[in-house]
Structure formats: C-alpha cells, structure tokens
Structure 1
Amino acid sequence: EGAKEYWKLYEKNLPVFKYAAPLTFQRVCFNCHGEIKNFKPPACISISLAASPFLEELDRNYYRLVWASILITILVFFTLFWLIKYLVLNPLNKFIVAAQEIEKGNFNIRVKIKTKDEWKTLSTCFNEMLDSLAKHQEMLEEKVKEATEELYQAYSELKKTEKFRSDFFSNITHELKTPVTAIRGVLELIERKGKAENKHLEIIKKNTEKLSKMIKDLLDYSKIESGQIELLKEENNINEAIEDAIFLVSPLSQQKNIKIVLENGKDLWAPFDYEKIQQVISNLLTNAIKFSPENGKIIIRTKENEKEIVVSVEDFGPGIPPEEKDKVFQKFYRVSKDKREGIGLGLAICKGIIEAHGGRIWVADPPGHSGCIFSFSIPKGEQDGRKKEK
C-alpha cells in the first residue's frame, strides 16, 4: 500500500530495462471476485525488456541528434535575432537617428513606422511632439527676430540720440559763442573808451535778442519733445494771426524790401492757440525772408474745406534740394544752402505745435519758379465760427 511504480536499466551482462508496479485490485474487480475483497497480495507486475536495440539505435543517432540540436539552436537564434532586429532594433534605430537630427537642430525629421503595434503608436506621438516643437521653434525664432529688430532699432535710435546730443552741444556751443563773443568784445571796447555809443548798445541789444530767441527755442522744443506743451484753444480767426505775424516780421522784411502779400483775406475760424499759431507763421515768414532775394515777394494763402483750414507761405528763394525735404523738420537740421546763424529748431518747433493741434505740416515746390511753399493745416471745430465777432 502506498507503493509506487519502479523502473531501472541494468547493465551487468546484457543491458536490460526493467519495469515493476505493485499488483492492486480495483473496486470494479470485486463484482466478479468477491472472495478477494480483503486480499492483499505481496506481489507486483514486472516487465523486462532487452535494452541493447535501443542503446545501439541511440549510439547510431547520437551525432545526428547533436548536429540536429545545433542546427535547431542556430535556427532558433537567427529567428530570434531577426525578430528582435525587425520588431525592436529597426524601430529603435529610427528613433535614435531622429533624436540625433533633432540634436543638430533639424525639427523637420519624422519617424515613419508602418507596423500596427505599439511602435506605430509611439512614432505617432513622437511625430506630434516634433510638430509641436517645430511650431514652438518657429514662434521662438520669430520672437527672437522681432526682439533683434527691436534691439537694432533701439540701438539705431540710441545712435541717433547720441548724434543729436553731439550735434546739439556742437551747435549750441557754436551759436551761443557767437553773440556772447560779440557782446564781450563790445563791452571790452566800451571799457577801453570809457563810454558807450549808440552803435555799441545796438550790437549788445541785437545779440542779446539773439541769445534770448535761442533760449526760447530750446525751452519750447523741450516742452514739445517731453509732451508738456500747453495749448489754450479758442475759436480764432486765422487771418488775424497771419496779420499779426506779418507785423512782427516787418522789420526783417523792410531791411530787404520784401513785400508780403496775403491772398484770400476771407475770415476763417478754427479752434487754436492764437500765440502758438502766430509763432508758427512768424517762423515760416522769417525763413522765407532769409532765403528771399532783395526786393522780392512772399505770398500767404489760406483756404478751407469741411474738415480743416490750410495756410501756405510761398517764397521765391533758391528752394530746398529734393533729398533734404524730408529732413527740414528734424531738430538741429539746417538746409545745406543755409549759412546763416541758428540752431535749427525753428521748423521742428512748428511741426510740434501743428501736430499738437492735430494738424500736419509739409513743404513743396512752387509751380513755375524757384523757391518753396511751406503749408500747414488746422482741424476745424464742430461749430462754424465764421459769424463770430471779436
């Protein structure tokens, strides 16, 4: 009871394969052999077979089995290698190549895998990531480009500012030095003579006025450039401002016997700062007188439309070279033909005042003769003030 099967190969004389198993009775056997119901035989079934034919056959097939095993092993190895290479290494190499290209900055590379497994899913996600990186790269390059352009513009503006600063100190030093030197020379002359003559006082007065005008121009432009210009707008007649400006510059025009003609004396009303617009007209007339020949003429014209009033000052001087027309309203700029004294702020101040009124100022060539026409516009108010009486 509890015995197990037993087998063994005996090789004493002739190799024999023996098999033994205990003899037992199954329950179904008791149907026919009831007398052995309680029989427990101490016996077993034993089978012996000659092992020589089997061993000889194994000896004959040993080397074949070895070579077959080697071939099967090699076949299995190459099969596994090919599967690993095709299913794992090839897709992985594609990702490695893509990563190396990305490292070089090439975001246009894409991984193409035609299988329908996890590698395909991974390649799709990888390519979507590259698309996103490429978009971010383009955005970054665009921002860098914009930042570079802004930096370059800022650098250019800085250079311009530095040039303006240099020009300013150069111009202001030279222009201030001239009247100061003249005043000092006259004072030294008076000191030596011990008395002051009228012509000496006239020189001092003239140069003092010149200094005062330079300082006033500097202060005015400083306010314009800093945005602190104050306008006292009221409904005014532009022709009255023109007539007052003509009166202010009459001493200059009389010195050269220049006639100033106001055409279209019709009253034109608009909201503007009377003193500031009068200053603009005076500056334009002063420049026109400077460049006009003796016994010449200056024509002032006015006109209006639904939105604005336009004032123009036409002279018969040498004119402005075409390449300098866009520069005449820049601060410290003087036309190449202008050899007269000044710091080059007059037209820049005019431009600042007109633009503060919401208007515009420009220069053009007159038809049929040399010279130039300076024009400016002033927006009209919502109400027509032409009937207003002052």
Structure 2
Amino acid sequence: MLHEFLSKNRDEIVRRCERKLHARHADKPSEELLDTIPGIVDEFTAAAQREAGLPATTTMPRHSEQALHFGRARYQRGYSVAEIALDIGMISNAIGELAEEQDFHIDGTSYKLLDECIDNSVAQAIDTYAELDHAALEHDVAEWVGSLGHELRNSIATAQMAFDVIKSGKVGVDSRTGAILARSLARLEALVAQTLAAAQLRAGKELAIKRMSLRALVEDVVESAHREREIAFELAVDPALVIDADASLLESALSNLVQNAVKFTRTEGTICIRARRDPEWVWIDIEDECGGLGERDPEQLFEAFHQGERGKSRGSGLGLAISRKAVEAHGGTLHIRDAAPKGCVFTIRLPAPT
C-alpha cells in the first residue's frame, strides 16, 4: 500500500529531496532548502491513508499549512515561482525513484493521488507567493503615489509662493524669487516625466527607437536641470556620437541621474558628463562630487524608495530605479562606481548603433 511505503521510507524520501535540492541550489543550507518538505511528505502519507480508508496520522486540511509556509518562505528568500514548482515536484521524483529501486509497484490510483497532492501543494505555495508579491507591489505603488503627491504639493506650493511675490510687483522675473519659480516648475516637469517613464516601463510599451545625437540629448538634460549652489557642468561628448534610443525614456533616465548628481554634489562642485564608443557599446559616465559612497551598498541606491543618507531633502525615491529600468529596456546596463574621496560615477552602457 502507498501509505505504508511512504511511512516506512519517509526519512529516505526527505534525504533524496535534500540531495536533489542541493544539486539545484548548491549555495543554500539544507535547513533553508528543505523547509517544510518533510511536512509536505507527511501530508502525502496522510492522504494515502485516507485513500486506503484508514485514520490519517497527520491531518491534511483543505489548505495545506506546509505548502503555504513553503511558498511564503521561498518568496521571502527570493526564489522564483518556477523554482517553487520544481522544488516541490522533486518529492514526486524522489518517491518514484525509490519505489523503482525497491521494486515497489505504484498503481494507477496511487499515481493519480500523488499527482493530485503535488498539484495541490504547488498551487497553494504559488498562490501564497503571488499574494505576497501582489501585496508588496500594492505597498510600493501606494508609497510611490504618496511620495509623488508630497513632492508635487511642495513644488506647487513653492511655485505659487514665488508667483504671488512676482505678481505683487515687489520683485521682477529676473530676481532670486524668479529663479525659485523656475526651479519649481522644472521640478514639476521632471516629476511628470518620471511618472510617464514609470508608466511606460510598467506597461511594457514598445520603445519608439530613433537615431539621435547623444550630445544634443545631454545638452537638453543639462539645460533643464536644477541649477543650485553654483554647481557647474563639464561635457565631454563628441557631437558626432549618435545612439539609437527612445528619446523620452532615455532623457528621463539621464535627467534622473543628473538631478541626483546635483542633489548630492558639494557647493560649487562640478558634474562631469563623458561619453565614448567602442565597437559594441556606447558608454556614458556621470561623475559627481558627493564625497563617495562610504560603506553603503551601491545596489541599494537602485531600489525604489531608497533615499540618500546625507540629510538631503526627501525625494520620490524612484529616480534611480526608473533610470536603471529605462536603460535595461534599451538592452543596456546602469551601474555605480565609488570614486571617493571625490564622489561617485554612474555609468550607462548602451548598444552601439550598427
């Protein structure tokens, strides 16, 4: 009987699952890999006992707590949905191999029961994974909307204040108040562009690729950037250098990087933008004078809503994350390199036009 085979060989089935999991995830510890696999095997045994008309030694509720926990733990540890399905499916492989070695015949009814158990466990684990993923996405979206609304409100309030002062006739448009109005409007424009870029990337909209001058694109980004604290720009981009890209999406990526550089560069510092080409790639460097990254993990800067640690004003927290996704949508990469004590360098790599 299947339930007797599973009960008698329970530990060996678990050991075989462990070996198979280690073959797939060599760098993971056994405790993490197995997780609730032994409990899932016990639930299979209980199902076989009930199929045979016997009292089950382990309850198997309609919703398997073991499978639910497995899906939750795998999600929290960064496994994919495909890995969850394959990892639970290894239980069936281990049972089948052991049955063959011991010359134990699993009849059609028992095979069907095992398939149903595997299917239910995989489905429940994946449902849990999907629920957690959806909840995390909703949280991110809610945080983004709240943060975006905060920045929009502040920029509008600042622009309104500056406009009211200019309207009163006390100062002219060329005054410092006029400069505040210009910066606020530029920030609003950047936030709208950032939002549109995020929407385009999220929707998977096809890129509108066209050939363009990289120098002209960089000049447009620099011209529209916040100018504050007497920060200067140096451009080393050949006017003859061209790229194939979605203009609005790449401009948004560059704008986010430049605004980030302005935000963290020291007063009276210089931001250098350089570009070069090799046979396969176009490279764009944005070097700031922020003083370096310190002990922070560079990759964290590309996570949505991760903020800098220099006491600067709170941002929407999506700029660098959007920049990386926009560059990757073009088949490129975006990385950061620490250049302490001077600053850091963001490097975009894009496929060179053929």
TM-score bucket (shorter structure): 0.5 to 0.7
In structure 1, which of residues 243, 248, 260 is the aligned counterpart of residue 234 of structure 2? 260
1:298 maps to what in 2?
271
The reply to whether residue 149 of structure 1 matches residue 129 of structure 2 is no
The reply to whether residue 371 of structure 1 matches residue 343 of structure 2 is yes
Give runs of aligned pairs for residues 324-339 of structure 1, distance below 5 A.
324-337=297-310, 339=312
Write the distance in 2 (CA, Å) between the matches of 1:340 and 1:229: 34
* Aligned-CA RMSD value: 3.8
Give runs of aligned pairs for residues 145-294 of structure 1, distance below 5 A.
145-185=121-161, 195=169, 197-198=171-172, 199=175, 202-228=179-205, 230-234=207-211, 236-249=212-225, 252=227, 255-262=229-236, 265=238, 267-294=240-267
Q: CA deviation at 1:242?
A: 3.3
2:82 maps to what in 1?
none
The reply to whether residue 349 of structure 1 matches residue 322 of structure 2 is yes
In structure 2, which of residues 285, 298, 304 is the aligned counterpart of residue 312 of structure 1? 285
| Higher-Rg member (1/2) | 1
Write the distance in 2 (CA, Å) between the matches of 1:188 and 1:285: 30
Write the distance in 2 (CA, Å) between the matches of 1:283 and 1:335: 14
CA contact (8 A) 1:256 1:293 kept: no
Give runs of aligned pairs for residues 86-125 of structure 1, distance below 5 A.
102=52, 103=54, 104=56
| TM superposition score normalised by structure 1 | 0.55
CA distances 1:26-80 after superposition (whole Å, capped 9, x unpaired): xxxxxxxxxxxxxxxxxxxxxxxxxxxxxxxxxxxxxxxxxxxxxxxxxxxxxxx
> For residues 377 and 183 of structure 1, do their structure 2 counterparts lie closer, same or farther at Cα, with a shift above 3 Å needed?
closer
CA contact (8 A) 1:242 1:281 kept: yes
CA contact (8 A) 1:258 1:294 kept: no
Write the distance in 1 (CA, Å) between the matches of 2:346 and 2:238: 19
Structure 2 unaligned spans of 5+: 9-47, 59-91, 96-102
CA contact (8 A) 1:259 1:295 kept: no
Instruction: Specify which structure has the bigger relative contact order, considering alpha-carbon pairs within 8 angstroms and separated by 6 or more residues.
Output: 2
Write the distance in 1 (CA, Å) between the matches of 2:271 and 2:183: 25
Q: CA deviation at 1:138?
A: 4.5
**Could you tell me the percent identity over the aligned residues?**
20
The one-letter code sitting in structure 2 at the alignment partner of 1:157 is: D
The one-letter code sitting in structure 2 at the alignment partner of 1:258 is: A
Write the distance in 2 (CA, Å) between the matches of 1:362 and 1:152: 33
| TM superposition score normalised by structure 2 | 0.59
Structure 2 counterpart SS, 1:298: strand
CA contact (8 A) 2:263 2:312 kept: no
